[in-house]
Structure 1
């Protein structure tokens, strides 16, 4: 049975993260994370804690990511008890129009603290469709069942 209320609450966090990103608001972005959250970027940089996440994004929003937004689509939400959720999505940093293909895959682990869902861990990886296709061609048994 799908828990639509909890699913909506969890996906709303991801939508709100994207809104904060679009405004370039590092403090609002960081406020969606637990005090001790872990954040891993697609280039492998690891940030630890809400403050580190907010501070790094403040610098990024002023330089490399200035004027960008986040495009995302939720692929799956699973609940591991009443107060823990794992959300997977496809996403991308965008400037202007949303791309047809979102090139990153993200995993969010969210926890409910004082009735509010927060991100405790985030991992972002670049999807390498060509390499994945080659792998599936030469070792078809590696293709996830969901894609068959």
Structure 2
């Protein structure tokens, strides 16, 4: 049965992910993923495996995402068993001041590996479209998720 310690260990992985991003340390970033992890970006690119994730971020940190910081907010942690956790959250990259609203919705699947460490086995990043959401919620209020009514 997962413990409070497990919840803290899972969120610590995400804290380490943010810290690695903010240092633009592709190697540290990649080590937080399992060897066979999958990583789906908000533009639809799918990276497979720790090496692919690491190398893509090595390039991103020197090009499109140079000098960016990562903001991350955990919305919920759910354990599917003693060694598997699903984390939902919001995140975004930024320069300068942290954005008030984070523009991406993210899902992480973490597993506890044989060495006892939690690592990310799958990541999905989806860009929010607030205007599209607002219009669809206005014309079809039943589409508003229960968690989004607050």
Matched, 1:84 2:84: yes
**Which residue pairs with 1:41 in the alignment?**
41
Can you give the 5+ residue segments of structure 2 that lack an aligned partner in the other structure? Answer: none
Q: Secondary structure at the match of 1:80?
A: strand
- Aligned counterparts of 1:132 and 1:39: Cα–Cα separation in 2: 25
**Which residue pairs with 1:134 in the alignment?**
135
Q: TM-score, normalised by structure 2?
A: 0.95
**Which residue pairs with 1:117 in the alignment?**
118
Structure 1 runs, 4 residues or longer, greater than 4 Å off: none
TM superposition shift of 1:4 = 2.2
RMSD: 1.4
- Aligned counterparts of 1:59 and 1:68: Cα–Cα separation in 2: 13
TM superposition shift of 1:138 = 1.2
Q: TM-score, normalised by structure 1?
A: 0.96
Q: Secondary structure at the match of 1:120?
A: strand
Q: Spell out the pairing of 1:87-98 with structure 2 (5 A cutoff).
A: 87-98=87-98
CA distances 1:104-126 after superposition (whole Å, capped 9, x unpaired): 01000000002100000000010
Can you give the 5+ residue segments of structure 1 that lack an aligned partner in the other structure? Answer: none
